[in-house]
Each structure stands twice: as structure tokens, then as C-alpha cells.
Amino acid sequence: MKFSFAGATDRGKVRKKNEDCFVAKRLGDDEYLFIVADGMGGHLAGEIASSLACKIVEEFLTKKTGERPLLKLLEAFEWANQEILREGKKSASTMGMGTTLTTLYLKNSKAYIAHVGDSRVYMIKEGRILKLTKDHSLVEKLLMEGSISAREAKNHPKKNILYESVGVLGEIHPQLVGPLDIEGNEIFVLCSDGLNLHLSDEEIKEIAEKGEAEDAVKTMIKTANERGGKDNITAIIVKGDMMKQISVEEQEEARSRWDWLTLAFVVLIYISFLLGGLLIQKKAESFIIRPPSSLSVK
């Protein structure tokens, strides 16, 4: 199964540097890896943490793919957690640095997800959008418990507080999803919270469904920046080739319908001309003065 994809990251309009990192890569036949990491920490620490997380997971999955993808993803996340934790202890400027880490791995018509933090993976299928990951944030926890409403959660003052992140504590508890059967007519969207801060799920769906993945990514980031760009913005869009195939089939069907309509129109015009000709001939004949049948004409 083939997928087209595109990804981009942007500093936004407020932050002085970009601490987001992403990977969008085809690893082999029917094998793809997508990662979004949103770093946190003072100075350059967030940038270091997110870059290190992406590098470690990419290297791990590239070298150690196998028949148990979720186990491999879990091992990769644990390795990234220990390496970032170790790196953070090397200096005061990197102490306590961490990152969100969200990974989508596609292989043999199956999807696997490992996730820590509040970056997200969405799946769009048959006109519906589904958030496949759970935000590991204090606000999401309060929302799930029913302590606050969805409206309160949107503008909550503690919305950036995470209770799970990579590289901060000795243990992590990633959310693991899969295997999910995929048919090739799905669209996946991975993003940092800088995107969904400014775009609703429905807006993300509408943009992702239109045109090529690269154009949709650009539109998402542009829209987020136009609405304030309060955080770093990262987006990856992955489209199954069945989306294109459906489009081509629809075009062929429309073309076929047009051909039949054209033929019917031509036939109708032809019949109209025939009928019109007969009527004209009949009317003309009514004006002809015919000689009596008893007379002969030389």
C-alpha cells in the first residue's frame, strides 16, 4: 500500500525559536515512519530534546523493524527517554528538558501509534475525523474526569501542563495504539499543539481532505499563523493512494457520463433537424399549385 505525505514546521509568530521537530519518511516497501516532537525547557534545551527524540526513534525503527512493531516502538521510546534524561544532566542549561513524542508507523496495511504528551494523531476516513491519541495534559485529565467542560478546557490557564513527557522522569508510560487495519482511503494528520491551538478538528479535516498533502500542510500552518501563531507549529499529512484512485475513478465516471450526455445531445439535435426538415418540406408543399390531373404538361 502506497502513501503520499508531506510535513513542515514553523516558529510561529510569538516564540523566538522553534523547538518542534518532525520526521516524515518512507523506510521501505509498504513501510513508513512519521514523528512529531514538541520540546520544552529553557534556552536551547527544548530544541535539543525534540531533535534527540526524533533521531533516536528514527534510528531505532530503521535498524530494528520486525514483526512486533508496538514492542519496537515502546523500546524506542524508553531508549529516547533515558538518552534525553542523561543528556539533560550534563549541564544546568539542559537540566529538566523534555519533549512530547508522537509516532505513527505504517507497515503491511497496518497502523501503529506510540504517544507521550499533547501532540496528536488524527485519522480522517469517510468524511469523519477521529483523534487517535490522548493528550497527557492536566486539562485533558480534568476534562475526562468531568471536572471541567470542553469550553473551559479550551482556554484553561494550565492547558500547557503535561503529566507525561519524554526525558523528564526515569519512567514513561506511552499510549500504544494498534494494529489498526488500513485500507488506503485514510488520511492521517500528526501535529504539535501549536496547530490544534488555532484550528478545530473539523477545520483540520476540511483542509486535509483538499488537494495534495504538501498544499494542505502549507494551508494549515498559514491559517494557524494568521490566527496568532502563539506557539511553534508542526504538521504532517499522510494520504493513502486510494484517495487518488477514488478521485481518478470519479473523474472517469464523470467523463463517461459526459460522453453519454454528449452523444444523446447530438442524437437529439440530429432528430430535431430531421423533424424540422420534414415540417419545412410539408409546409413548402402546401404552397405549390399543382395542375389538374386531366391536363398533361409538355
Residue pLDDT, tens place only, 102-131: 999 999 999 999 999 999 999 999 999 999
Q: Say what the pTM is.
A: 0.80
Question: Is pLDDT of 259 > 70?
Answer: no
27 alpha-carbon distance from chain centroid: 19
Q: What is the 3-class SS of 106-121, one letter each residue?
A: EECCEEEEEEECCCEE
Question: Is pLDDT of 69 > 90?
Answer: yes
Note the helical H segments in the chain. Answer: 45-63, 69-88, 138-145, 150-154, 193-196, 201-209, 213-226, 241-285
Model pLDDT for residues 155-175, shown as the tens digit of each residue = 788 888 999 999 999 999 999
Model pLDDT for residues 17-68, shown as the tens digit of each residue = 999 999 999 999 899 999 999 999 866 799 999 999 999 999 999 886 667 9
Question: Which amino acid, 131?
Answer: K
Supply the pLDDT for residue 46.
Answer: 95
Query: Which of 92-106, 116-130, 189-203, 260-274 bottoms out in mean pLDDT, i.e. has the lowest?
Result: 260-274
3-class DSSP assignment, residue 280:
helix
How many domains does one find in the chain? Answer: 1
Separation of alpha carbons 69 and 267, rounded Å: 61
Pairing mode of beta strands 187-191, 233-240: antiparallel
Question: Is pLDDT of 244 > 80?
Answer: no
Count of alpha carbons within 13 angstroms of residue 4, beta-carbon side: 15
What is the DSSP code (8-state) at residue 253?
H
Supply the pLDDT for residue 283.
Answer: 41
Residue 35: domain span: 3-240
Confirm whether 104 is domain-assigned. yes
